Chain A
Amino acid sequence: MSGTSSSGAGGAVDRDHGAIAESIEAHRGCEGPLLPVLHAIQDRLGYIPREAVAAVAHALNLSRADVHGVISFYHDFRMEPGGRHVIRLCQAEACQSVGSEALARHVRARLGVDFHQTRPDGAFTLEPVYCLGGCACSPTMMLDGRLYGRVTPERFDRLVAALERAD
């Protein structure tokens, strides 16, 4: 593996290596450690760098194909950095019944990106999600891990504008 991270800076590479090693160490002793290890890496770095695949495979006695196969199977895991803010907009039935599709059109237009895309300035990544468990206060979305219910276009614009100002 090349050992370079997306930032290319030496400090970031060391930080990534440290985070990967610590994530492996923290969970390698448990039964079925692969998902906990991958979650730990992504929780710390925001994504799973390429060099993590070989390190995790080696530590857990798996093939790199096994590790890559697991990363690619699950919607949550990403191998490229996401935006500084991640918006997960619910598109499941309960939210559809109160206009989530129209909200999605508004959100895409406001952010200027489609689902599964990150804005060129790196500020926002937009992902669809199928149920956040807030079905009695739909439409819902998750913004940086926090759930929002009864989301209107106006409420969405206020939240995004506040983040843009803070950035």
Chain B
Amino acid sequence: MNATVYVPRDAAALAVGAEEVAQAIQRTAAARGDEVQLVRNGSRGLVWLEPLVEVETPAGRIAYGPVTPDDVAGLFTAGFLSGSAHALHLGLTDEIPYLKRQERLTFSRVGVIDPRSVTDYEAHGGWRGLRNALAMSGAQIVEAVVQSGLRGRGGAAFPAGIKWRTVLNAPGEIKYVVCNADEGDSGTFSDRMIMEGDPFVLIEGMAISAVAVGAKRGYVYLRSEYPDAERTFRAAIAAAEGAGCLGEDILRSGHSFHLELRRGAGAYICGEETAMLESLEGKRGMVRFKPPLPAIEGLFGKPTVINNVITFASVPIILDKGAKRYADFGMGRSRGTLPFQLAGNIKHGGLVEKAFGITLRELLYDYGGGSATGRPIRAVQVGGPLGAYLPESQFDTPLDYEAFAAIGGMVGHGGVVAFDDSVDMAQMARYAMEFCAIESCGKCTPCRIGSTRGVEVIDRIRQGEQRQANVELLRDLCETMLHGSLCALGGMTPFPVRSALEHFPDDFGVTAKAARAA
């Protein structure tokens, strides 16, 4: 028997045993005399089914999962190399409803290709966007990104094309392109999945940006908590250089673009763009005052494009298929798609790329299948540790930047963390303040001191000490942090705190009226 088998090397798949499964498959195949070509792909994003093993058949790729090493012998006996029936048989991968109902643009290749193969990338449409860009002027590339409506996917949602235009028009010989891969928000992993599952798309997006603004050097600032992504991405940089897609004279265009990966060192604040620049320069990750904007004075004082992994990774398809095709997805001013990440207490956790406009309820139930524990979902945090906690009554809000802002929330980086009815929301509010205290860079007082005072006030409320007065104090403190902090860490920590208090006053031992008054 001769077959191609896919076993992911994505960190989440490895975390639940994919390496052991891959080894068992190789061992068993060798013992049986089967010839198996093993491809270590990225994850399809159906994390609850990991390790998800796929087999190439004439009908298409057939999936089995979740596979343990103990299942492997039985899979061979059942004839899984030809896609035969088995208790873990899931049918054609592309027909699994969770995947079939998605709109994968940015993630179209993730889990499909061999992430370390330049030729596989090219065979699946890679480098077409860059080739098109190389035939255009910088202004034309910028215009295409503006027309696509692409907004920064890291959380702030600033129009990417406008930022690029600022850098293009900024005077100076030396400019930089920097990718923020410091994906520190709990409940998010789409950056990691791209870097492990389709790293060349990030390289291509950054190269297009560099060509557009006239930068010759770029950095990817990757958090140290992602060693698997680091290995894959370093290999991808070397492979792209070897293929002439990075370095001097990329694709024989006359343009050069040198890309380097830099590892962070465990500071959440370095996901804030100016703290990240400080860190890249070799300093403490202290937030900078703005202005000047990084687009004018960024890395080493030079004009710098800073975008998130998903933003850059969405650019190649825009330059390949056209701005209009991308902008046709989405609603209102939120154009295109967002790779949502379903996490926490959810039955079917994973990655769901959909056009903006899907509701939270659809994500949680149609995709997520409800909570993992089977208990009612009581609260959902969208947008990471600085995002609001939303109660069931807000689950019908469409995921759209403006619609979420209108209810005091934020879509952010698209992370969705579900909690069942055993959650203590006063404890979660306390944690939000505690996290801010641990991760504050210390530059501004509302964040540095306010977060510690916040923990103390919430402790007093939870202990029943002058509840009403302390709730008022907490609200007042939130106002101070909101308006007086230098960056989003101190400025948005009040979002989870206030939303927890407003929507779940019982957990603080106060009435809804008391929670709102102050």
Contacts and interface: CB of A to CB of B under 8 A. Distances in A.
A66 B278 CA distance: 13
A75 B282 contact: no
A136 interface: yes
B50 A93 contact: no
Interface string A43-75: 000000000000000001000001001100111
B484 to A, nearest CB: 23
A82 to B, nearest CB: 13
Among B192, B217, B262, the most chain A Cβ lie within 10 Å of the Cβ of B262
B262 A94 contact: no
A36 B346 CA distance: 38
A167 interface: no
B16 A150 contact: yes
A92 interface: yes
B147 interface: no
A151 to B, nearest CB: 9
Interface in A127-147: 129-138, 140, 142, 145-147
Contacts, number: 153
A149 interface: yes
Contacts of A145: 227
B248 interface: no
Interface stretch (B105-113, B263-271, B485-493): B263-271
Interface string B165-202: 00000000000000000011111110010000000000
Given A36-B262, A75-B266, A97-B423, A70 B284 contact: yes
A53 B15 CA distance: 36
B282 A34 contact: yes
B311 interface: no
Nearest to A33: B282
Interface stretch (B74-82, B124-132, B336-344, B393-401): B336-344
Given A75-B267, A133-B12, A135-B417, A35 B262 contact: yes
A147 B15 contact: yes
B385 A135 contact: no
Given A70-B284, A95-B186, A142-B225, A136 B439 contact: no
A136 B279 CA distance: 29
Interface string A63-107: 000100110011111000000000010001111111000000000
Contacts of A93: 186-187, 344, 381, 385, 417, 428, 431
Contacts of A119: none
B236 interface: no
B344 A97 contact: yes
A69 B14 CA distance: 36
Nearest to A62: B282
A156 interface: no
Interface string B209-238: 000000001000000111110000000000
A130 B344 contact: no
Given A35-B265, A98-B372, A134 B280 contact: no
B439 A130 contact: yes
A97 B422 CA distance: 9
Contacts of B419: 97
The prevalent SS among residues of A at the interface is loop
B345 interface: yes
B368 to A, nearest CB: 10
B343 A39 contact: no
A135 B267 contact: no
Interface string B10-47: 01101110000000000000000000000000000001
A133 B189 contact: yes
B226 A135 contact: no
A132 B279 contact: no
B432 to A, nearest CB: 9
Given A136-B47, A136-B343, A94 B187 contact: yes
B300 A31 contact: yes
Contact of A130 (B184, B260, B264): B184
A73 B185 CA distance: 19
A148 B15 contact: yes
Interface string B325-353: 00000000000000001111110011100
A74 B265 contact: yes
Contacts of B228: 147
B285 interface: yes
A11 interface: no
Contacts of B349: 135-137
B415 interface: yes
B515 to A, nearest CB: 21
A120 interface: no
A32 interface: yes
Contact of A32 (B11, B187, B280): B280
B273 interface: no
Contact of A70 (B12, B263, B282): B282
A150 B14 CA distance: 12
Contacts of A66: 283
B465 to A, nearest CB: 23
Interface string B352-389: 00000000000000000000110000000100010000
16 contacts: A36-B262, A39-B263, A92-B186, A93-B344, A94-B343, A97-B345, A131-B183, A131-B185, A133-B11, A133-B226, A135-B187, A136-B189, A136-B343, A137-B15, A137-B47, A137-B48
Q: Nearest 9 pairs between A and B by C-beta?
A: A136-B349, A34-B282, A92-B186, A149-B15, A135-B343, A74-B265, A75-B266, A136-B47, A97-B344
Interface of A: 30-36, 38-39, 60, 66, 69-70, 73-77, 88, 92-98, 129-138, 140, 142, 145-150
Given A93-B428, A136-B341, 15 more contacts: A32-B300, A34-B283, A35-B262, A36-B263, A38-B265, A39-B263, A39-B265, A73-B285, A74-B266, A77-B265, A94-B187, A130-B268, A136-B12, A136-B47, A149-B12
